Chains A and B, each alone.
Chain A
Amino acid sequence: MRKSQTTRRQVLLAAAVSGAAVAVPAVLRGQSSVLKITTWGGKWGEIMKGKVLPAFEQEFKCSVEADQAFPYLPKLQASPKTDPLYDVLHSNSNEQWQAVELGLVERKITAKEVPNIADVFPYAVSDKIVGVSIFTSAVGLGFRTDKGLVPPTSWNDLAAPTLAGQRGGYLIPVNSLGQAHLMMLGRIHGKGFEDLDAAYKALEALKPIKLFDFTGQMEKALLSAEVTMGVLHDSGIFRYDGQNQPIEFAAPKEGVLALEQVLNVTPGSKVKELAFAYIDYMLRPQVQKELAEGVWYSPSNKKVRLEPKYDGKLFNTEAKVAQLLQVPWQWYNAKKDEIDARVQRILKG
């Protein structure tokens, strides 16, 4: 009887085969495209990571690495342009303008690269936008309904003497709502968004004012009645819908400011086609509807049909989006250092 014996060669062969079996999926995974994006956290992040991104990965046979740790632009700035940290930058409009000045993102995206752009409202690709705006919020006034306030109708209502110390704004150097509000003051009290002297004077009249560095803090301050009226975007109020909170949003008669959620591609991206496909995907009506109703953002795609509850409040018709004011970020960014120093001196003390 011949004794079965395992030779050294057989052992090595078996090891090589099993090693290859283990390694092949990893190698294949390594070969599949990876899209690096930035995106917000909170409810937005939950929907993105829970539904939107997995569906995109499945459809486009890729994996998406989403960075939710703000601020994104300094990180992109620190990476080489030829091998950028992100393929798609999601940020507000002011930062996209900074990014284009630094050569970190493309100036324009057209329907040629992103077909769904053909269906967006004009503001989403206007000359005030770098890249494409996929959603917008309307910045107006949030206020308490239980403090005997007359609902505001004008931006000037924020300067009412009775609101001294109870009105809220933003740390202008770090917050785009604060920056847009400053330009709005120039428009209302002076010759236009770029009338800084008029804006500074109007800002001085808002003292004493409580300042916050991001909208979440303003929401918290309104909910706790630390402020009774403040500059806020509509989604910062609407998201508490159904929670019986005594807060409301008012759209001032002078117009509301657009707070755009902008997507753009980095010039050095190694997966540019996939990056454009992602932007196109984010502009699809069903994706837009999912996110718009999840976080109360107004969709850019004209073809989106929202449920009545959202349809009545969000800016999703030609008439409604006509009320949105887009500020000149390129001009503002060029003067930012000078403005920062001046407003900090005005508001200090």
Chain B
Amino acid sequence: MASNTAGRVSPVSAQTRRGRKATAVGWLIWPALLLFALFFLLPLGVLGVMAFLSGNPVNAPAVHFTLRHFQRFFADDLYPEALWATLRIGFLTTLAALLLGYPLAHLMARAHSRIAHALLLMAVIAPMLTGIVVRTFAWMTLLQDRGVINTTLVALGVTERPLKLMYNEFGTIVALTHIYVPFMVLTLAGVIGRVDERLEDAARSLGATRWQAFREVTLPLSLPGILAGSLLVFALSISAYVTPVLMGGTDVLTLPMLIYQQVSSSFNPNFAGALGLILLAVSLTLVIAYNKVLAGLAGEEVS
């Protein structure tokens, strides 16, 4: 009887214990929240406020609210064109990373040998162990007029003059794709790995070809990975500075380049803030739209 009473836990005390446990776990999230607030929300807030101020309140005595930085953006075609170039480069880099990354991610996810999986993983991660500047310089060594590719082509007589492989959008997208494709592969590999292989087998046993099984089963089920990987690569590409500056030459002018110019050499953090806010607003709109379209597609496929 006594042991019976001791073993029985009243629902109220169990709830209290669960509540305490939840509170304890809740406390663990505070450092992350604090970091998020300090290093994301606060700078974003400062950026947002600066974009609407006439000067720097730290130093300027009379600062007032103004819309002139946004008016300046729309008054000169150069800035909307730079925004369009930024989004175009982001989109093409994402597309290229997806096309290159999906087969590799599929191969990784379906590799039955642990060694093969580890080797593929190493191959994907290895380039990330060097910095973006180093990787961009490596691409310059390959693609510039006197680079490895052009020198070889000219020496072999394939072309008389060096091909225009860099100092343009093409070179920028090639380098950005190489730099960001690991993010796509790693995201996709995790999602594809969770798609039950037996579903593909079932489709094939019901008469579907290998391509049909992939198109009707694996691809729709991996849409969350495509969504996450694309968003990651797109966000990284549109905010890239070093690679477009080094690879783009005179042909490429992106918003991050203009933002850097405004901060570092025009000393106008307010206009830089406005440019940053515009880039953020436009890319957020695109990301939300993309999310909805892809979610809709996934819904259709499932139903």
Is chain B a partner of chain A in the same complex?
yes
A contacts, CB < 8 Å to B: 71, 73-74, 77-81, 98, 102-104, 165-166, 171, 173-174, 207-211, 213, 217, 224-226, 336-337, 340-341, 344-345, 347-349
Cβ-closest 8 pairs across A and B: A71-B264, A347-B250, A173-B261, A174-B265, A226-B146, A225-B146, A74-B263, A341-B78
- A344 vs B250: C-alpha distance in the bound complex, in angstroms? 8
The yes or no answer to B301 lying at the interface (CB within 8 A) is no
Whether A211 pairs with B146 at a CB distance below 8 angstroms is no
Whether A226 pairs with B250 at a CB distance below 8 angstroms is no
CB-nearest residue of chain A to B264: A71
Task: Kindly list chain A residues whose C-beta atoms are within 8 Å of the C-beta of B59.
Answer: 77, 80-81, 102-104
Whether B146 pairs with A224 at a CB distance below 8 angstroms is yes
Q: List 28 A-B contacts (CB under 8 A).
A: A73-B267, A74-B264, A77-B58, A77-B59, A77-B267, A77-B269, A78-B56, A78-B58, A79-B58, A80-B59, A81-B59, A98-B267, A102-B267, A103-B59, A104-B59, A171-B245, A173-B261, A174-B260, A174-B265, A207-B250, A208-B250, A211-B250, A217-B246, A225-B146, A341-B78, A344-B78, A348-B250, A348-B253
The yes or no answer to B249 lying at the interface (CB within 8 A) is yes
Whether A340 pairs with B266 at a CB distance below 8 angstroms is yes
Task: Kindly list chain A residues whose C-beta atoms are within 8 Å of the C-beta of B251.
Answer: 348-349
Whether B265 pairs with A173 at a CB distance below 8 angstroms is yes
10 further interface pairs, Cβ-Cβ under 8 Å (given A210-B167, A349-B251)? A77-B267, A102-B59, A166-B145, A171-B245, A173-B265, A174-B260, A208-B250, A209-B250, A224-B144, A336-B265
- A71 vs B58: C-alpha distance in the bound complex, in angstroms? 18
Max chain A C-beta neighbours (<10 A), residue from B144, B167, B264, B267 = B267
Task: Kindly list chain A residues whose C-beta atoms are within 8 Å of the C-beta of B145.
Answer: 165-166, 226
The A-contacting residues of B in range 254-278, CB under 8 angstroms, are 260-261, 263-269
- A173 vs B245: C-alpha distance in the bound complex, in angstroms? 12
Task: Kindly list chain A residues whose C-beta atoms are within 8 Å of the C-beta of B267.
Answer: 73-74, 77, 98, 102
- A77 vs B245: C-alpha distance in the bound complex, in angstroms? 25
Whether B245 pairs with A345 at a CB distance below 8 angstroms is no
Task: Kindly list chain A residues whose C-beta atoms are within 8 Å of the C-beta of B300.
Answer: none
Residue A174 contacts which of B167, B264, B268 (CB distance < 8 angstroms)? Answer: B264
- A102 vs B253: C-alpha distance in the bound complex, in angstroms? 28
Task: Kindly list chain A residues whose C-beta atoms are within 8 Å of the C-beta of B269.
Answer: 74, 77-78
- A200 vs B261: C-alpha distance in the bound complex, in angstroms? 20
- A70 vs B76: C-alpha distance in the bound complex, in angstroms? 29
- A81 vs B60: C-alpha distance in the bound complex, in angstroms? 9
The majority secondary structure among interface residues of chain B is loop
User: What is the total number of residues of chain B having a CB less than 8 Å from a CB of chain A?
Assistant: 24
Task: Kindly list chain B residues whose C-beta atoms are within 8 Å of the C-beta of A217.
Answer: 246
Whether B245 pairs with A213 at a CB distance below 8 angstroms is yes
CB-nearest residue of chain A to B77: A345
Whether A341 pairs with B76 at a CB distance below 8 angstroms is yes
Interface code B130-169, partner A: CB below 8 Å = 1, 0 otherwise? Answer: 0000000000000011100000000000000000000100
- A81 vs B59: C-alpha distance in the bound complex, in angstroms? 6
Task: Kindly list chain A residues whose C-beta atoms are within 8 Å of the C-beta of B146.
Answer: 224-226
- A11 vs B76: C-alpha distance in the bound complex, in angstroms? 76
Whether B56 pairs with A210 at a CB distance below 8 angstroms is no
Task: Kindly list chain B residues whose C-beta atoms are within 8 Å of the C-beta of A349.
Answer: 250-251
Task: Kindly list chain A residues whose C-beta atoms are within 8 Å of the C-beta of B268.
Answer: 337
Q: How far is the CB of B56 from chain A (nearest CB, A)?
A: 6
Task: Kindly list chain A residues whose C-beta atoms are within 8 Å of the C-beta of B56.
Answer: 77-78
The A-contacting residues of B in range 222-244, CB under 8 angstroms, are none
- A71 vs B265: C-alpha distance in the bound complex, in angstroms? 8
Q: How far is the CB of A262 from chain B (nearest CB, A)?
A: 16
Task: Kindly list chain A residues whose C-beta atoms are within 8 Å of the C-beta of B263.
Answer: 71, 74
Whether A344 pairs with B265 at a CB distance below 8 angstroms is no
Whether A226 pairs with B144 at a CB distance below 8 angstroms is yes
- A116 vs B290: C-alpha distance in the bound complex, in angstroms? 65
CB-nearest residue of chain B to A72: B264
- A217 vs B136: C-alpha distance in the bound complex, in angstroms? 13
Q: How far is the CB of A26 from chain B (nearest CB, A)?
A: 29
Q: How far is the CB of B169 from chain A (nearest CB, A)?
A: 11
Residue B253 contacts which of A77, A103, A344 (CB distance < 8 angstroms)? Answer: A344
- A166 vs B144: C-alpha distance in the bound complex, in angstroms? 11
Task: Kindly list chain B residues whose C-beta atoms are within 8 Å of the C-beta of A209.
Answer: 250
Task: Kindly list chain B residues whose C-beta atoms are within 8 Å of the C-beta of A74.
Answer: 263-264, 267, 269
Whether B78 pairs with A345 at a CB distance below 8 angstroms is yes
Whether B261 pairs with A174 at a CB distance below 8 angstroms is yes
Whether A173 pairs with B58 at a CB distance below 8 angstroms is no
The A-contacting residues of B in range 85-113, CB under 8 angstroms, are none
Task: Kindly list chain A residues whose C-beta atoms are within 8 Å of the C-beta of B265.
Answer: 71, 173-174, 336
CB-nearest residue of chain A to B268: A337
Q: How far is the CB of B86 from chain A (nearest CB, A)?
A: 14
- A71 vs B269: C-alpha distance in the bound complex, in angstroms? 13
Task: Kindly list chain A residues whose C-beta atoms are within 8 Å of the C-beta of B76.
Answer: 341
Task: Kindly list chain B residues whose C-beta atoms are within 8 Å of the C-beta of A340.
Answer: 261, 266
- A174 vs B264: C-alpha distance in the bound complex, in angstroms? 7
- A345 vs B81: C-alpha distance in the bound complex, in angstroms? 10
- A211 vs B245: C-alpha distance in the bound complex, in angstroms? 9
- A155 vs B296: C-alpha distance in the bound complex, in angstroms? 61
